Chain A
Amino acid sequence: MKLRYLLHILIILVLLLIDDGIYNLRQYSQEELSSRAEQTYLEIEEKPAILIVTEEKSERISDDLSNLYFVNKVSKQNKSEIIDILSRQYQLDEASSLLDELNLPAVLEIQFRGDAFSETESSLFWQATEKEEGIFQIIYSDENYLDDWSKLDKLLEYSGLIENYWQWIYWGLAIIILLTVLSFRLSYENRQEKYWQVFTRSGGKPALSKIFRILNSIFLVFIPLAIAMGLEYFLWINHTFGYMPDFRFHIIRSAALVIVSLLSLFLIRRRDYD
């Protein structure tokens, strides 16, 4: 095999590995960002707002707030639960009947949906509570969430950047690979033209030159593609990659490259023998 041909194979292999690297890097970074965002959503969900409301209005307020799209869950601690807590915490067993006669407020614990609760929703929450009657006190502050929101903003920004640009880079490089294959095939075969001309004129079988041209077209892309896919598969079985290579993608890409490589045969300059 000629050195030039090997060099072509090597260059295509490097380009394919870079392209695969971009794809896998995007996959990995998006998964990492998504996992960090999930963590932040959980942190938001773990910071509920507490509303102290009248027992009579508590059901309606709970229903109204539950209907808000950014509210995950509303838990109510009613009078009997509060008496129970107070009795246990302050050993007021004998006083429970006395407490029962008191008009105690209910406590509503509002848990937000981490992925839907941001500064806008915080304002909506304030507006929603302002409309309600029977709320004594709201234990809630935007400042509790500022760090989370800022973290989420950054994560989303990075994720958006990657999502917006990776495809351009990835497909741009894919087009470069296609053009490289085409150019390598043309340059190689045009250099080989003299050889095949002499081969045919010296009595060699013309069919053999056609077979070699087709085989060269296939091997030029098949060898680097097989190495790239094999490497990904190897990394996957050795747990370096967390996910299995997408064989369907590899097959489609291989088919596209082989087709381009074969199509280049139509563009090869044919010289007359005499």
Chain B
Amino acid sequence: MIELKNFEITGAGSFHLKADKLQIKSGLFIQISGNNNSGKSLLLKCLAGFYHDYKGELLYNGIPEKPGKYSVILINDFTAVLPEKSVKYNLYLPFARITKRKKKLLEEMLKDCGLDKCLDRKVKTLSRSEIKIMELIRAIIQQPHFLLIDDFDTYFDNLSLENLTKAFDHAAKAGTAIVITTRKKFEGITNSYAINSGEIHKL
């Protein structure tokens, strides 16, 4: 579980983001919506452990420092792929070895999203959205503790959400907490938060 207590970040620009209390429990799917420059991306970077310039407490299972065993994958505007390599190469990149079960699951998820035919194609030939779907599937297969997706609505639409249902179900079963940030609120997501006037409110 990730917990924010009296959390406060001030960006280099004009924004200021506060969260008195926010808990992200395992297996949950959380949506945080907010306008541009409201601090959503920086919040995810804080949760991923890439940004430390904040006030208040950020606790991982009650511990202030992110323990090494805590796996957090952040999907944001950074393209975590090697464009000159094949889709297959990029999908298997973080795995020292992959079990047959995971491999099968991966193939199923790729099929749901129509990426199963692209395994041998170079990643640079894929669209930005396809790359993000690939990154997302690759992340879910690893069953991290937290999967953070920034600007979800930039890369994924409602159709993508439908195609990724199996993937998100698998993540929930595996106990992966998914936090997405969006500009507009996606309907049907129960755990939704919104950033209003620099504060995070539960909807």
- With contacts A198-B80, A198-B81, A273-B78 known, is A203 near B96, CB below 8 A? no
B91 to chain A, nearest CB (A): 9
Closest to A194 in B: B82
Please determine whether B76 and A274 come into contact, CB atoms closer than 8 angstroms.
yes
Q: Which residues of B contact A197 (CB under 8 A)?
A: 80
Please determine whether B93 and A198 come into contact, CB atoms closer than 8 angstroms.
yes
A77 to B74 CA separation, bound complex (whole angstroms): 104
Number of interface residues, chain A, beta carbon within 8 A: 14
B179 to chain A, nearest CB (A): 16
B151 interface residue per 8 A CB criterion: no
Please determine whether A202 and B94 come into contact, CB atoms closer than 8 angstroms.
yes
Interface flags, B34-78, vs A, CB<8A=1, else 0: 000000000001000011000000000000000000010110101
A243 to B201 CA separation, bound complex (whole angstroms): 82
Q: Which residues of A contact B51 (CB under 8 A)?
A: 274
Closest to B94 in A: A204
Q: Which residues of A contact B95 (CB under 8 A)?
A: 204
Contact of A199 among B74, B78, B93 (CB under 8 A): B93
Closest to B74 in A: A201
Q: Which residues of B contact A205 (CB under 8 A)?
A: 94, 96
Q: Which residues of A contact B198 (CB under 8 A)?
A: none
Which of B6-14, B108-116, B138-146 binds A? B138-146
Q: Which residues of A contact B135 (CB under 8 A)?
A: 202
Which residues of A are at the interface with B, using a C-beta cutoff of 8 A?
Answer: 194-195, 197-199, 201-205, 208, 272-274
- 13 interchain pairs, CB-CB under 8 A: A198-B93, A199-B94, A201-B78, A201-B80, A202-B73, A202-B80, A202-B93, A202-B94, A202-B138, A202-B139, A203-B73, A203-B142, A204-B95
